Structure 1
């Protein structure tokens, strides 16, 4: 479905739910992380891109401080709260994401009116494509615009990214980094977002897959994951311990030539966690240089190396992700890796457009032979970031 069609459907659902026309509909795209996994909260480098699958948020202000949020998605319950009652722990479930944005905006000094909100989405949940950031950013850009229209100060996109991250960290309780919100807010069609997670400097890097005769194939394993569970937090803790033992603020500050020293100072598991971060940062820098000089067809080996590091050193893969990556490579992909926080979700493959059917068939056959649930396979393109649609 096109973004415009999804926006029209969301506006109609809003009118049916609340009995009035929304003031607007805003979109937040999901993202694929091309390379650079778990480097964001270590102050390192990442290279995601916004995708052409979005979450939409229809909004209208109210005359009081009441907030009503509803979703067009099955299995979700509507929530009604007062803005003044929002605080960490006050809301759970899916509504904690949009209401966390409202709370974080208030904490940033933007006094919000009450509002009605209805959301819809085509970003798969739990697939590693950051459906949470897509929702946060759609709501953030919408509320920031409505607040500005109501005579209150707006926020720039860097500030809105911080708002989304604070909502996810403090209201939802997921200890994620800043990458997903930056990808959703700063994305641009035909480009990847090269982000220095320490300085917050953003550069757009050409990623024109169509012109190179390539597609990015997403392989959703249907193994669900959640960042609010303990595995993600334990990886963060390992990185913190490694940085402290090496006497640096963040693992971003560890050069490759200190890995031998790190191996002597750290236990085996903590060392392998650190080695992934150090080598992954370098792979991001190498990927940016390669894209600028040689184009996307030349980054396949970096994608492959990234997956091996996540599988063996950071240990965030799973049998389904490994199978998807191996089958895609055997089917003709130029490179493949899991993407997202891990422990399930999706893998991506860089595939010649003429060979995408062969890769799909190879992955489906491999999953069937292992008795795994059939994965959902679809292609994505680099797309524009969060914006108003209606």
Structure 2
């Protein structure tokens, strides 16, 4: 297993994350357990900021909180000086309860409800990323009722297809997101936005996909967006247009087959393309915005499990079962995500057998890893699965009425719980038994 950030193997053969032995974290906080390397999160954020500073362009980095959203994470992002993007009223509420500056909150989503828009307007969030004509009309009306003018970006589909899983590719024409440049709806959206009371068009936005390992897609997107940006100013009179937002999607390493770039490589490609295109078009450079999520938290997360039973089918496969699975990490079941792992309490031992890691949910498809080499496993060993910082906690469920794991941040030998482990009482706190079930009416 590749060791990210502060992770290392100490002289005792123990996996150490943030200065603390993983096995000790498992003993102290229980398993399954999400562990985040706080130093690596901050290091990655600062790498993005340094790359932009080098470019000399005005910029804004908004952490895509859908990757991992807790109050502690929102607080960390605020402390590092980033904006944050949210895609639901729940994510917005989390950020606001963490005292995140509302003017640095960007609200995404292809179907924002009236209640969510009201919530955002009342909180004074800084930016709406508008995804449909319906939303544009609704936002304008609600803002006007309150005597407000909401700053907006229009999410566009630039027609850029990148090599990634079909479920996380979003920049192509056939997508539920955005106004199409090629089909003309993007132009119509600008025209309508300029005529809609209660909104002010300040930027255009695109997001071409996720887990992208090259820069050509971003360069192509910048070129198409730049043409549209300048046309909107010159032909349509979008005088307040000042932001070019190219979204996120920067890839990370899950396994040895992945070959992501460093943050500086992505940012250099984007900023150089912006300078080249806007120089060619003869207009001033816009503020450049990005929305990294997975790349900030993905490598910083490790999930710890306790190994239980094994099932060896001679000549076929050896199954190793852990005390978690698709309830805390549905990504392998959803889109065949692949991970690396090691035995955290015997991290210095050579792998000797090929096994597959099974979850404990009552589903044949509850497999976390197919075919990983490990030392001969023993019940009670701690399995560490790397790069689980993005979308694992976010997508976790109570399937089979499993309680969701705790989350801890570790740094310099300190471990802080940022999300408490659920209890069985948490599972039933919303349950209600109708009175008629208790009065014997249906028992006769």
Q: Same fold (TM over 0.5)?
A: no
State the TM-score, normalized to the length of structure 2: 0.27
* Higher normalized contact order (CA 8 Å, seq sep 6+, divided by chain length): 1
- Larger helix share, 1 or 2: 1
State the TM-score, normalized to the length of structure 1: 0.29
